[in-house]
Amino acid sequence: MPQFLDYSDADFDARFDALLNAKREDSPDVDATVAGIIADVRQRGDAAVIELTEKFDRISVTPDTLRITGQDVDTAIAQVSPEDRAALELAADRIAAYHARQMPEDAEWTDGAGATLGWRWTPVSAAGLYVPGGLASYPSSVLMNAIPAKVAGVSRLAITVPTPDGVLNPLVLLAAKLAGVDEIYRIGGAQAVAALAYGTETIAPVDKITGPGNAFVAAAKRRVFGKVGIDMIAGPSEILVIADADNDPDWIALDLLSQAEHDESAQSLLITTDANFGQQVAKAVEKRLETLQRRAIAGASWRDYGAVITVPDFDTAAALSDRIAPEHLELCVADPKGLSQKITHAGAIFLGQWTPEAIGDYIGGPNHVLPTARSARFSSGLSVMDFVKRTTLAQMTPEALRAIGPGAERLAASESLEAHGLSVTARLRKLND
């Protein structure tokens, strides 16, 4: 059973803080191993990647077969049913349409001093997407990572996807094709991240790496950051549902389980103003766990990290939500939009009882790569903005330099940077000749 907390209890704050600070991340000490793998790939390139792929994925590859060919892709995706293809195509279209609206605009203006200022946005030249393999193959994640990159204008997009025992996932490959991926490599683990970051004889390096992975992948992304950009270090999935009693307890139970089934370390929380409704939801969760396919995983998550929290009103619920800063936030209340405006920290908000979080995972349009572990306090989900960078522009006329240059001279002198100041002074003297 989950924890039951009541805001009116004297020990509520202590129990709530303990809930927030419970260590859920699976963080085995893999850093030393990952450091060795990265060093090996940097030194030996393809040879290291090939050896590690044979060791961990039980397949033999050569430099010529590291890359999955277009023919391999076409053969695999021919196995996809028309219904699955249609669903992926619908998702791809919606994700592309949503992210197209995120594209920022260039700007340029002339200010009162006569200086022309502005900025322009340009895409990264190459991006790499890590795609988990085996049981954790998620074609939806391919779409969510690759489509924003292509919408941003990334000209080269490579993905790495492990293929344990040589098995290709047709849906993953179809998603890659729909998203416009340029290169697909049958490798995974820290060695794939190292190959994308530093390059090998066969795999050209990229500028940014995105995508989920296990502890080894996360550690590798931490280590290569700085050489390349990364999206984020994602932790276990989490959902917070704020609900009133005018909901079907079974619906809310399923929403909570939709994240619990991801991982034993996932967290599912319910905040409600009705203690009896909270009990009904908890009973509905237990009933669903009797038949859920992934009940062992979901049950452990709900038992160890789940909670039902009773509050006196929804203003209190909003305040607690901001302290949680959840990855996913469902507002199943009479006025979800009004409540959402009282909440500042959340990765994604799902408004109303007809908007289950799973819609966001697959087909809604917004990205499902979201900040976890309370990082929604300071970061955002994946977007087009992760694949573009802003370059500022400035142009002085002689009049503009005459107007603002003396200020630059003074500030340079205050910092004892003589050449800085002189570079302005020389031009001002020319103007005064």
Report whether 157 contacts 149 (CB < 8 A). Answer: yes
* Beta-bridge partners for 230: 209
| Sequence-separated (6 or more) residues with CB below 8 Å from residue 71 | none
Among the listed residues 183, 327, 330, 357, the single catalytic one is: 327
Residue type, 182: D
The SS3 call for residue 390 is strand
Going by C-alpha positions, the residue among 135, 232, 221, 144 that lies closest to residue 181 is: 144
Q: In this structure, what DSSP letter does residue 78 have?
A: T
Residue 328: active-site member: yes
| Sequence-separated (6 or more) residues with CB below 8 Å from residue 394 | 115, 116, 117
Among the listed residues 99, 262, 328, 368, the single catalytic one is: 328
CA distance 243 to 250: 12
Going by C-alpha positions, the residue among 188, 209, 192, 104 that lies closest to residue 146 is: 209
Could you please report the per-residue DSSP string of 82-93? HHHHHHHHHHHH
How far is residue 428 CA from its own chain's centroid? 49
6: phi then psi, degrees, rounded to nearest 5: -125, 125
Residue 420: active-site member: no
CA distance 256 to 235: 17
CA distance 240 to 249: 15
The SS3 call for residue 401 is helix
CA distance 66 to 339: 51
Going by C-alpha positions, the residue among 152, 125, 139 that lies closest to residue 383 is: 152
Report whether 174 contacts 195 (CB < 8 A). Answer: no
SS3 content of the chain, % helix, strand, coil (to 5): 50, 15, 35
Could you please report the per-residue DSSP string of 337-385? HHHHTT----SEEEESTT--HHHHHHTSSS------TTGGGT-----GG
How far is residue 193 CA from its own chain's centroid? 16
Q: Is 432 exposed, middle or buried (0-12, 13-18, 19+ CB in 10 A)?
A: exposed
Q: Report the catalytic residues.
A: 327-328
